[in-house]
């Protein structure tokens, strides 16, 4: 198992997955090219995120009404939802820990919906805060 570590958080990546850094996000995908996880990080300079703020952000950022569910991913807690858009199955998470907010999406072809769900859940459950948050 490899460890992907950013300035703010880390996550375990099994050998059958890859990770790459883009300008404002981290991409993580399976080597079978079924789907891809994208993680964007927001770090507050002052103050902390709370559950209500994360829920409000999720509601305001969604382009469609979604059924948000409470979720815990490793050291992070927030909300998650899923939907289908133009032939793409999408799962979204807004999770926080202290001054960190992660916006995470997993997308794949609608035909592959659910195929990587267990693996994605297992990966995201390894999210840990780096340092003394």
Query: For the segment 111-120, what is each residue's pLDDT rounded down to a tens digit?
Result: 999 889 999 9
Q: Which H or E run includes 22? A: none
How many other β-carbons are positioned within 10 Å of the β-carbon of residue 61? 10
For strands 17-21 and 9-13, give the pairing: unpaired
Which among 92, 52, 46, 53 has a CA at the least distance from the CA of 73?
Answer: 92
For 68-86, the pLDDT digits (tens) are 999 999 999 999 999 999 9
Whether the predicted model's global pTM rises above the 0.85 cut:
yes
| Rounded-to-integer distance, Cα 12 and Cα 124, Å | 8
DSSP 126: T
Residue 114 burial by CB count (10 A; 0-12/13-18/19+): exposed, middle or buried?
exposed
The answer to whether domain 2-68+78-129 has CATH 3.40.1000.10 is yes
């Amino acid at each position: 198992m490899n460890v992907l570590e950013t300035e703010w958080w880390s996550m375990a990546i099994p050998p059958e997955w890859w990770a790459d850094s883009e300008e404002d996000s981290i991409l993580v995908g399976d080597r079978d090219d079924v789907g891809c996880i994208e993680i964007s990080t927001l770090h507050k300079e002052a103050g902390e995120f709370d559950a209500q703020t994360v829920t409000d952000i999720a509601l305001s950022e969604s382009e469609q009404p979604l059924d948000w569910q409470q979720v815990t991913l490793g050291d992070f807690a927030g909300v998650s939802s899923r939907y289908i858009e133009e032939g793409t199955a999408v799962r979204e998470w807004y999770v926080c820990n202290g001054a960190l907010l992660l916006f995470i999406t997993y997308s794949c072809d609608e035909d592959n919906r659910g195929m990587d769900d267990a693996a994605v859940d297992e990966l995201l459950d390894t999210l840990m805060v780096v340092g003394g948050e």
